[in-house]
Amino acid sequence: MAMTHDSYPDDYIRKILNDVKTIAMIGASPQNVRPSYFAFKYLAERGYDMIPVNPGHVGKSLVGKAFVASLADIDRPIDMVDIFRSSEHIMPVVDQALALSPLPKVIWMQLGARNDEAAAKAEAAGLKVVMNRCPKIEYGRLSSEISWMGVNSRTLSSKRAPMPTTGMRLSLNRSSVGGGHTDASDNAAKRRNDPV
């Protein structure tokens, strides 16, 4: 299926996030202020087998996962290559991915990254491609986790959303992690519901 890559049907993104299990993140960072750190941690907490790829951090780990220098150093099949690199650095990553056996199923380019030539090359080899999107954001949007924070829920409401609980089934075919709470918000909700 030829994609325009200007927008993606929800079913296309949902199927990718449901089907992939092992994700190699190119450009992952162990620094907890970097977007790749947050995306990596979030996806790992949702059950994906995450592999951090960054030659500058070999010998370190990210949320308990050891860094590798390149895709060729990974010892198991990869379902998705998530690229945290600028657009001009994407083609060499796609070439490395296409040299793997078996091939990954998906090339995913993070927010702000787009390389149509690399996308066409990957698609010609049978891979699915997503550009200029973040799997963390897409997961949160499609699973409704993002609406628990009142972000992009597409619904205006003053009603408090239910808190996620461990094992809760989401619109993605995965269970949520345990939902947190704060005493302040719980006390405020209790005061609203208690008669005066």
Predicted pLDDT of residue 152 = 44
- How confident is the model over 38-52, as a mean pLDDT? 95
Mean pLDDT rounded to a whole number for the chain:
83
Predicted pLDDT of residue 192 = 55
The residues facing 143 across adjacent strands are none
Predicted pLDDT of residue 179 = 46
Which spans in the chain are helix H? 10-19, 35-45, 90-98, 116-124, 135-143, 183-193
Instruction: Give the Cα separation of 139 and 169 in Å (integer).
Output: 13
Per the structure block, which two tokens stand in for 3? Answer: 């994609």
Q: If we measure between CA atoms, which residue out of 44, 46, 5 comes closest to residue 24?
A: 44
Read off the pLDDT of residues 9-25 as tens digits, 9 standing for 90 and up.
999 999 999 999 999 99
Predicted pLDDT of residue 145 = 77
Predicted pLDDT of residue 170 = 54
pTM above 0.85, yes or no: no
**In whole angstroms, what separates CA 181 from the centre of its chain?**
23
Read off the pLDDT of residues 74-90 as tens digits, 9 standing for 90 and up.
999 999 999 999 999 99
Predicted pLDDT of residue 180 = 44
Q: If we measure between CA atoms, which residue out of 12, 42, 11, 9 comes closest to residue 25?
A: 42
- How confident is the model over 109-121, as a mean pLDDT? 95
Q: Is the pLDDT of residue 97 over 90?
A: yes
CATH 3.40.50.720, the chain: domain bounds: 10-139
Share of the chain above pLDDT 70, in %: 72
Distances (CA, A) of 12 to 6, 9, 23, 86, 150: 13, 5, 17, 24, 24
CATH topology of domain 10-139: Rossmann fold (3.40.50)
Is residue 182 very low, low, confident or very high in pLDDT (cuts 50, 70, 90)?
A: very low
Distances (CA, A) of 54 to 59, 89, 105, 164: 10, 13, 21, 33
